[in-house]
Structure 1
Amino acid sequence: MRSIVVIDPAELWDRLPAALAGSGPALLPGGPADLAGPLGPDEDSPDDPTAVVVATSGSTGEPKGVLLSAGALRASAEATHARLGGPGRWLLATPARYIGGIQVVVRSLLAGSPPVVQDLSTGFRAEDFLAAADQLLASPGRHYTALVPTQLARLVDTPARSALAALDGIVLGGAPMGAELRTAAAGLPVVTAYGMSETASGCVYDGVPLDGVSVRLAEDLLAGSSISTAGRVALSGPVLARGYRNRPDLTAAAFVDGWFVTSDLGQWVDGRLTILGRADDMINTGGVKVPASAVERLLERHVPAACVVGLDDPEWGQIVAAVVVAADADLDALREQVRAELGAPAVPKVLRVVDALPLRGPGKIDKAAVRALLTSL
C-alpha cells in the first residue's frame, strides 16, 4: 500500500520522478502531518498513481488535501507548454508547497531541464528575481516563469522589467490581475491563468480553456443583479484531481459526473471566460445581489488595490463594505463612480483606506481579516 509523506518543498525535484511513476510515495510538500499516512483504496490507482497532495490554503474552511494523480499533473504541464509555444526552462519564484510552484517543477521535469530557483528565504525581492532571471536567460531555448500579481507588481517598475520582457511567457495566477497592474505590465508576455489545486494549477489561460479542458456555467446565481448571464463555473478534463484526502463527502459534493464544481462565478465575454468572484462573495443588500468582485474591479481602476466584502446589517441584511489602498483616495468620488456604473445598491456604505491588504497563501487577499478590520473600526 502506498502512502503520503511530508517533504521539504526543496526535495520536490529529486523525489517527484518516483512519485509520478508510482514507485515512491505520494508527496505532500510542506503540508500538515495529519494529511500523511497510507492512501485509501479510493485515493490511489495502479494505473494512475497519486503523485502529489496539496494542502489548500483554507479560504472556505479548514485546509483540505487535494489528491493529484500523475496523469493530471502531466496533462496540465503538457497543455501549458502547448499553449505557451513549447517546452522551455522555468524560473521557480513561488513556494513549491503550492500548486503553482509544484507545476513549475512538473513542467521542468517534462522539459528535461531543472528550474532556476529564486532565493525566497528573505521574502520575494526584485533583485533576487533579476539574478535568477539572468541565470535563466543565459541558457538556450524558451524561458518561462510563474508569478502571482503581487510579485509582478513589485517587478514592473524595477530593472527586472527588462528580464521580464525577455521571457517567452509569464504565467500569472493565484489572484485576479487588477486594471492598474494590467496597464503597468503592458507589453510584457503575461498570460493570466485561472485554476486551482483541484485542476492541477491554471487550466484556463487568458479566458480560453487549455487543450482537453471544458468549462460550463452550471447555474444562474445572479437573479436580481445587474449581471444576469453568469453562473457557477464547472470544469472538466484530464487535469482534475482525484478528490480530497480522507473526505469522501467533500469529494462527492465537488466532483460530480466528471466535473469539478467550483465556488466561482463566471461569465462569457466575447468568447472568453471572465471570473466575477466567488459565489459566497455575493452580497445580498436589501434584496439586491451585488457581486463583490465587480465593485472591486471598478475601484481598482482608480486605486492600486481594493477588497470588497459584505457585512451583516440589521436593516439591509448585508451592506457593501470596502477597503482601498491609496493614501490620497477621494472616497466620495469613488462612491460616485460605483453608483454611476453599478447602481446605488453597489455603493459601499463603509469605505476605508488601509496601508496594505492582508494576504494569505500565494498573494491571495484574506477576506476574513478584511471583515475583522472593518468591524473593528
Structure 2
Amino acid sequence: MRIDAGLASAVLDDVCRRARSSGGVAIAPTAAIHSLPIRLQTQFAVDNNISAASFQRFRLFLGPQSGLASPLALREELGKAAAEEHTRATSNGDGAYLVSPRAALEAAIWDLRSRKQWVERTVRGPDGREVTACRPFEGQASASVPHNSAVRDVHVCFGLDKGGLVSSCKAVLSCTNQVNPTSRGNSLLYGIFPCQKDDREALTRMADVNVPDLDALRTGGLDVGGVRRAVRLILIGDYAFMTSWVGHKVAISRMPCLWCTALRRRTQGNGLLVDTWGNMQDGSLARGVTRTRGHFERMAEASADCDNSKPAAPLPLDEHFSIEGRPLLSMDPTHISPMPLHLTLGITGALLRLGIEAIYIHHGATTASAYATNLSLALRFAVVVTPKPYFGGAFEGRQCQLIARRMSAVVELLAS
C-alpha cells in the first residue's frame, strides 16, 4: 500500500495532540473510543484536505477494526451535510454564499451552549458601569437603530477577509459570545466573491447580497435556547474595508477616524476647522465630535446616485465629514470596531496625563504629585525621551513610539 505505519501513527498522534490542546471541538479522537461517527470522519477529511482515494488507502491499511467509513458512505454523509439548512449555499453568478446565515449562526450558538462554551457579553453605560440585560427582545422595525442596552442580545461580528490561492474576498460572520471569537475555527464563512482589485462596484455587488440578510438579523434577532434575542452587529476587518463599507475616504482623508470628526493635523489653512472639530495629533485631547448614525443616513441619501466628488456643488467638509460615498451598510458608529487611530500615534503626553488623573482621582493630590515626579524621571532615564520645546512642549512622533516600545517602565511605575 506504500504507507509507512510509523508515519501514519505519528500523524494521527499529532492530530490528537492538537485537538486536545486547542480546547475547541475535536475532529479526531482524544480518548480511546471504538470509532469516530461518520459525520466527524467527513469533517476530518474535509478540514485536512484528504482526498477520497487517500482516505480509502488508510481505511484498507488499518482494517475493518478501525471503523472508518467507505468512500460511498462519506459522499452520502457529505451530501446530507450540504443539504442541511445551516450549511446550504447558493450562487448568483458573482460569488457563492450561505442561503441562511441566521440558521448558520443559530447552529453555532446551539453548539456553543451544548459544549458549555457560551459566554454572556455585556455593554457599559455612559457612567462606565455594566448594564444588566434582562428585558426580552420583541423585534424592531429599523435595522440601523440600536436596541436598548437592557435588552438581552447576541454579539455578531461581520467582516471581510481577503487573500487565498485565488484572488477572492470572503465575507465572515462570528459570534463573540465565546472565547477567541475571531479565530478561524470559530468563524463562519458567509460568502466568497472573486475580486481582481478593490473597486466600489465589486463592494456594491457584495452588499446587495449581504446587507438584506444582516438587516434581517438586526430586526428579527436570533434564537438562543428557545428565547429570541436581539443582534448587536459589529463591523470588523481591516481599515480599508471598513472605510469603503461606510462610504469613508480612507486614511488620506482630512477626517480619517471612523468614530469622530478629528482632523489629521493642523495646517496653515484649517485652523478654524481644527478648533471646531478637533485635532488627532492631540491624542486623547483631540476633542473630535462623535459621529452619528443619523449623519451616515443623511450621507447615504445625499449620495444615493453618485459620490460627493461628482455633483456640481459638492458638500463642504464640515457637512460630509469625509463620508463622501454612499454607505453600503447603515449602522451606529459605536458598533464599528477598529483600533482608534488616535492610539496608533504611540503613547502621547495626553495618555500619560490620563494616568496621572487616575492616580489623583483614586489616591489624592499628594500621591498624584509624587507619581508625576517619578514618571518624569522614568521617562528621562529609563525610556530616554524628553519633551521638545519646538514641538509645543510635547513628545515627537518617534519618541511616542519609543515610549510604547518601552511601556513596561511606565506600567511598573503605575502598578507600584
Larger Rg: 2
Higher strand content, 1 or 2:
1
Larger RCO: Structure 1 or Structure 2 (Cα < 8 Å, ≥ 6 residues apart)?
A: 1
Calculate the TM-score normalised by the size of structure 2: 0.25
Name the one with the larger helix percent: 2
Task: Give the TM-score of the pair, scaled to structure 1.
Answer: 0.27
